[in-house]
Structure 1
Amino acid sequence: MPKPLTQNTLFYGDNLPILREHIPDESIDLIYLDPPFNSNRSYNVLFKDERGEEAEAQIAAFDDTWHWNASAERTFHELIQNAPARVAAMLGALREFVGTNQMMAYLTMMAARLVELHRVLKPTGSLYLHCDPTASHYLKIVMDTIFGPGGYRNEITWKRSSAHSDIKQGRKAYGNIVDILLHYTKTEEYTFNPQFADYDEEYIRKTYNNVDPDGRRWKSSDLTGPGGAAKGNPSYEFMGVTRYWRFSKENMERLLAEGRIHQSSPSAVPRMKHYLDEMQGVSLQNIWDDIPPIGAQAKERMGYPTQKPLALLERIIEASSNEGDVVLDPFCGCGTAVAAAHKLNRRWIGIDITHLSISLMKYRLKDMFGLVEKQDYAVLGEPEDLASARQLARSDRYQFQWWALSLVQAKPLGGGGGREGKKGSDKGVDGVLNFLEEKGKLQRVLIQVKSGHVKSGDIRDLRGVVEREEAAIGAFVTLEPPSNDMVTEAVSVGYFTSKTWQKDYPRIQILTVEDLLAGNGIDMPPSSYGTFKQAGKVKKQEGKQPKLISVA
């Protein structure tokens, strides 16, 4: 049985073993997952037979590729042998129908994870699976089987983009502009806080068509008591009119004193005023078209391809959890669910399989809330010593590069928000840091990361890149210790002088991974300009966020 976590936590790694080894039974109040899946592929590709043994893919790679390979076959057989009988029967039937292809690989991998997510969900909890119409009908079958016939709550349609015409490009189909949110619960006793959307402008214009001198809009309603005396309504004279009324005369006098009763003329029947600004709005339905996608200039935009709007996650979290509850996102990407949970005073757990995503989340939490790793939350699964750093470098040098860049709080270049990145297109720059000099001039620190053999020529190359890019400082991060020639070469470049801080900084700096793990960083002016696109500072809701002690 996993031990309860004691604080908000980010996990690096495959979410399946992490769920099994670290998350206790019935410990999570709300799960949101947006698993990667390439809906842009045609059905012909998704259902193409992929029999045979091929190299095991990085199933969670951000190119959304799921293949029927040795890993999928192993997972399928594990589920057939160990999952509940109804789940095994469902997967067997799906394989007979769907075949061995990308779609079946996706459904198999998701089934394994959904079994674990069902296990960790509290009886009062909810799970929202974010997908699109390409796979939603299959996922619904999987989830109906795992959660049981009574677990389904809603299929929510979110309008994720505006209308766009592909007809000129030869498309013979209706435009795809929606995503699907499948909402399931473990029991009937689930948390649900009704949510409300703003009224339509046309409805406001027609219904709230009265305006007070102070600009407040209102509508009126009947004050007479339906059914008269037979229903026990009191009869008395009020404002020159005798009727059976809804309220006692005392309450009517109070409403009049509060300015909530309107009489159009001395002989007219008084009516009650209802102000627009006091209304909750219209009760939310299962079509959400009031949350726009993240625009190109949006403050919260972080350059992550599948980034979802913060407002979307806030709505889900507010509807299906309460303050202090635990929110889990097992495919957390750039961390929108984690950010929304923290903003709304929920506790949180995020899991992702790339260092790029974990780095992005670290800086998002810092940009939005000023949170500091190890002090305000834990990060598990990353290298913590030189030996594990060497192991990461041997297994995947790009993952090592992204992890090393996170140690100096730099933005990876060439990644473009993707897990595979644009390898070889960085023009000698792996990461960047920014700072502001006098008169708001933006200055840059360029970073190169090397996991293999290093030599003095690498320092000369970095100097050339810094000069070519007109950067202030160049930092060379190396797994291996630098030679004396490298140190001499770096020192010979001289200094960058900050007029703002009236201090000299070495123009070329060499830092080993061992230095960074010891807490040493780049010698540079304070960074006052976010390296990742600023997530937008937010003010947390009132109330101190509780610790994660009661996860179990």
Structure 2
Amino acid sequence: MTNRLHYADNLDALRAHVADESVDLVYLDPPFNSNANYNILFKSPAGLAADSQIEAFEDSWHWNNAAEDAFEQVMRSGHPRAFDLLRAMRSFLGENDMMAYLSMMAIRLIELHRVLKPTGSLYLHCDPTASHYLKLLLDGVFDKANFRNEIIWCYRKWSVAQGQFVRNHDVILFYSRKEGSQIFHTLYGEPSPGTMKRWGGKRQRAVFENGVRKAASTEDAARSPLADWWDISILNPNSKERLGYPTQKPLALLERIIAASSNPGDLVLDPFCGCGTAIHAAEKLGRRWIGIDITHLAISLIERRMKDAFPGVQFTVEGTPKDLASALDLAERDKYQFQWWAVAMIDGVPLDGKKKGADGGIDGVIYFKPDGKRSEKALISVKGGHHVGVQMIRDLHSAMEREKAPIGVFVTAALPTGPMLREAAAVGRFTDEWGRGWPRLQIITLAELFRGVRPAIPFADPLVALRRARREETSRQDAFF
């Protein structure tokens, strides 16, 4: 099976594209109903401050028709114990945001149970906001006999708390599909002080090949199976691993889960894949993978991440526009996702998300270096409607003057009119350090994008705002879990 990324609602993708009992390991890190808006911060080439931010996803749920429909789907799912629990929760909580979150999660957990092999496992990553409710749902869907561990991921960060202890941990709920049948490799923790003393203070390392532990004999003599609390550092702002995604988890955390509960060649599924850490870890450890996310922003980020970290990696991307008709369909269904897709197509970075009026009609930026050193920016404006006019070109030109941007790119679904082309040509040309001329205001249609046409910009740097993932060596991993 080919590795796959799906831009879709994970419930739809699971039902349409993932077969019964086909997955060996599920890891999911869903939003926690913390009622916070998570943002990706895009920094200028200088890296000193955030020039713009865009909503990656809105971490809030509301009781509405979609939540009511999810509740009814659980009722009809053939999982009466799960529905009994959900109905009791509704009686206790009422029809509020938390209940909406739990209803949406319940029907997805039922689908994840369906796709797991009898030897498979599920790890649900959450925080104390909803972990107790989610554990009850997992008991209802998977059966309480299949509960394996409540893993506590401990970390240290600078926090201030009033009237309570500082919260510095997440919860990871580990369930098997069938009691006693799950794949599980015992992992080993740090040597004890006594063991270190016997080794003369020199730590012996376990060797891992393709995610399988091959221990040295000295370590075998001091076996210390890993406990259910894991002290793994979060990613600090200056970490080389950090890409700029707000909820990015450390690779070490996902490598541990994948090494423990799968074998090389097994299939790993992450239905809320975000910036793709589980996908990255699966590829690194020689597993196959499926990632699903509802934002095109996340999917385009993972595409870049995987190509940077694993040159030559093979995977397909499903659900993103592949032709003019599908691009127009996306524009009709969700104009913001369409804008983010179009900006990514020309190697730009998004600007200002859904903040109405904040962007002055600008949807993205491409940074470039006309002399190979000094950074400038090209502004991107995306229009997915059927009607465009000369005033849109004038608006983009005004924004270029206001932002002192040498170049502007107008991406349009509709064909530009004659007056639009003349207005763009009248903006003139930008001359670089070598005397080369570049059109200052360029118009590109969607049809041209699919034919491979891209903006004419000197020394464009598509990844200046998102850090490049480091290239990985997959033939061997020396690790101490």
TM-score, normalised relative to structure 2: 0.83
TM-score, normalised with respect to structure 1 = 0.73
The whole-number CA distance in structure 2 between the counterparts of 1:442 and 1:281 is 55
Offset, 1:217: 6.7
The separation in 2 between residues aligned to 1:493 and 1:162, in whole angstroms, is: 50
CA contact (8 A) 1:363 1:532 kept: no
SS at match of 1:62: strand
After TM superposition, list the pairs within 5 Å mapping 1:438-453 onto structure 2. 438=371, 440-452=373-385, 453=387
With over 3 angstroms needed to count, the CA separation of the structure-2 counterparts of 1:347 and 1:503, relative to structure 1, is farther
- Aligned-partner Cα distance in 1 for 2:187–2:3: 26
What is residue 81 of structure 1 aligned with on the other side? 76
Once the 2 structures are TM-superposed, how far is the Cα of residue 472 of structure 1 from its aligned partner? 4.4
1:343, 1:539 within 8 Å by CA — same for their partners in 2? Answer: yes
Corresponding position of 2:304: 363
Query: What corresponds to 1:430 in structure 2?
Result: 363
Report the CA distance shift for 1:61/1:444 in structure 2 as closer, same or farther (over 3 A).
closer
Contact 1:367–1:530 under 8 Å retained in 2: no
Q: What does residue 183 of structure 1 align with?
A: 174
Report the AA paired with residue 185 of structure 2.
Answer: N
Note if contact 1:342-1:540 (Cα within 8 Å) is conserved in structure 2: no
CA distance in 1, matches of 2:315, 2:124: 25
Contact 1:217-1:275 within 8 A present in 2 as well: no
Q: 1:507 aligns with which of 440, 443, 457?
A: 440
Secondary structure at 2:322 match in 1? coil
Residue 293, structure 1, aligned to residue 234, structure 2: yes
* Aligned residues of 1:300 and 1:533 also touching (Cα < 8 A): no
Q: 1:193 aligns with which of 185, 191, 196?
A: 185
Aligned-pair Cα RMSD in Å: 3.0
Shift of 1:198: 3.8
Does residue 225 of structure 2 align to residue 283 of structure 1? yes
Q: What do residues 321-340 of structure 1 show as CA deviations (whole Å, max 9, x unaligned)? A: 22221111111122221122
Q: Give the fraction of aligned pairs with identical amino acids, expressed as a percent.
A: 48
1:178-220 CA distances to partner (integer Å, 9 max, x unpaired)? 11000111122222223334457xx389725847xxxx579xx
Distance 1:398 1:196 in 2: 46
Paired residue for 2:337?
A: 399
1:371–1:217 distance in 2 versus 1, CA, 3 Å:
closer
Number of the residue aligned with 2:48: none
Question: What residue is the counterpart of 1:381 in the other structure?
Answer: 319
Q: Which amino acid aligns with 1:381?
A: G
CA drift at 1:34: 0.9
520 and 204 in structure 1: CA distance in 2 versus 1, 3 angstrom threshold = farther
Q: How many aligned residue pairs are there?
A: 445
Matched, 1:34 2:7: no
The residue identity in structure 2 corresponding to 1:473 is I
1:506, CA displacement in angstroms?
A: 2.4
The residue that corresponds to 2:412 in the other structure is 478
Which structure 2 residues correspond to residues 51-450 of structure 1 after superposition, within 5 A? Answer: 62-162=57-157, 164-166=159-161, 171-187=162-178, 188-199=180-191, 203=193, 207=197, 210=200, 283-289=225-231, 291-370=232-311, 376-415=314-353, 421-436=354-369, 438=371, 440-450=373-383
- The 1:398–1:20 alpha-carbon spacing in structure 2 relative to 1, beyond 3 Å, is same
2:395 aligned residue: 461
Which residue in 1 is equivalent to 2:212?
Answer: none
Q: Deviations over 1:150-203 (max 9, x none)?
A: 21111111124425222xxxx322222211000111122222223334457xx3
Amino acid in structure 1 at the alignment position of 2:375: L
Match of 1:9 in 2: 4
What are the ranges of 5 or more consecutive residues in structure 1 without an aligned counterpart? 1-5, 42-59, 219-273, 416-420, 544-552
Report the secondary structure of 1:87's partner residue. helix
Partner of 2:42: none
8 Å CA contact 1:38–1:63 kept in 2: the answer is no
Question: Equivalents in 1 of 2:376, 2:311: separation in Å?
Answer: 22
1:360 touches 1:532 (CA, 8 Å); kept in 2?
Answer: no
AA paired with 1:425? A
Matched residue type, 1:400: F
1:82 and 1:448 map into 2 onto residues whose CA distance is 45
485-494 vs 17-26, which moves further? 485-494
Deviation of residue 371 (structure 1)? Answer: 5.8
